[in-house]
Structure 1
Amino acid sequence: MELPSALYVPTADGFTATALTIGPWDPGLQHAGPPAALLARAAERASGIAGGQTVRLTYDIFGPVPVGPVRITTSVVRPGRRVELVEAVLDAGDGRPLMRLSAWRMRTRTEGLPAAVAGSAPGAPHPAPAGVDGSRGEEAAFFRSDVAYHKALEWRFASGSFNSPGPAAAWTRPECTLVEGEPISPLEHLLVMTDAASGISAVLDWSTATFANVDLSVGLHRPPRGEWLGMAATTVLGDSGAAQCTAVLFDAEGAIGRSTQSLFVEPR
Structure 2
Amino acid sequence: MSRPPTAARRGCATIRRDSRPARNPKQRNIRDVPDAFYVPDGDAFVATVHTRGPWSATHQHGGPPAALLARALEAQAPGFVIARITVDFLLPVPIDRLAVRVETLRAGSKVQRLLARLLHGERVMAQALAALVRPGAVAIASPANDPALAPPEYGRPFQFPFFNEPVSYHEAMETRLVRGDWGSGRVAAWMRQRAPLVAGTPTSPLERVLVAADSGSGVSAAIEHKRFTAINADLTVSVHRPLEGEWVGLDCLSIYEPHGVGLADTRLHDMHGPIGRALQSLLVEARSW
TM-score normalised according to structure 1 size: 0.91
* Whole-angstrom CA distance in 2 between matches of 1:203 and 1:227: 27
Q: Which residue of structure 2 aligns with residue 21 of structure 1?
A: 51
Q: CA deviation at 1:141?
A: 1.9
Seen in structure 2, the aligned counterparts of structure 1 residues 234 and 240 have a Cα distance that, compared at 3 Å, is same
- Structure 2 counterpart of 1:132, from 152, 164, 185: 152
* Whole-angstrom CA distance in 2 between matches of 1:85 and 1:125: 29
CA deviation digits over 1:19-55, x for unaligned, max 9?
Answer: 10000111111001000000000011111xx232110
2:132 partner SS:
strand
TM-score normalised according to structure 2 size: 0.85
Identity rate of aligned residues, in percent? 39
* Whole-angstrom CA distance in 1 between matches of 2:175 and 2:87: 24
What is the identity, as a one-letter code, of the residue corresponding to 1:72? V
* Whole-angstrom CA distance in 2 between matches of 1:113 and 1:188: 28
CA deviation digits over 1:204-260, x for unaligned, max 9?
Answer: 111111111111111111122212221101110011111111010010111111111
* CA contact 1:30–1:65 (8 Å) conserved in 2: yes
CA deviation digits over 1:167-188, x for unaligned, max 9?
Answer: 1111112200000100111110
2:67 partner SS:
helix
1:36 partner SS:
helix
Q: Which residue of structure 1 aligns with residue 75 of structure 2?
A: 45
Equivalenced residues, count: 257
* Whole-angstrom CA distance in 2 between matches of 1:214 and 1:104: 20
Q: CA deviation at 1:203?
A: 1.6
1:151 aligns with 2:171: yes
* CA contact 1:166–1:201 (8 Å) conserved in 2: yes
* CA contact 1:14–1:72 (8 Å) conserved in 2: yes
Seen in structure 2, the aligned counterparts of structure 1 residues 177 and 78 have a Cα distance that, compared at 3 Å, is same
User: 1:91-106, aligned counterparts within 5 Å?
Assistant: 91-93=119-121, 95-106=122-133
What is the identity, as a one-letter code, of the residue corresponding to 2:46? T
5+ residue gaps, structure 2: 1-29
1:177 partner SS:
coil
User: 1:1-268, aligned counterparts within 5 Å?
Assistant: 4-47=34-77, 50-93=78-121, 95-110=122-137, 112-114=138-140, 116-117=141-142, 121-122=143-144, 124-128=145-149, 130-162=150-182, 164-268=183-287
* Whole-angstrom CA distance in 2 between matches of 1:220 and 1:74: 21
* CA contact 2:148–2:272 (8 Å) conserved in 1: no
Q: Which residue of structure 1 aligns with residue 3 of structure 2?
A: none
* Whole-angstrom CA distance in 2 between matches of 1:4 and 1:190: 22
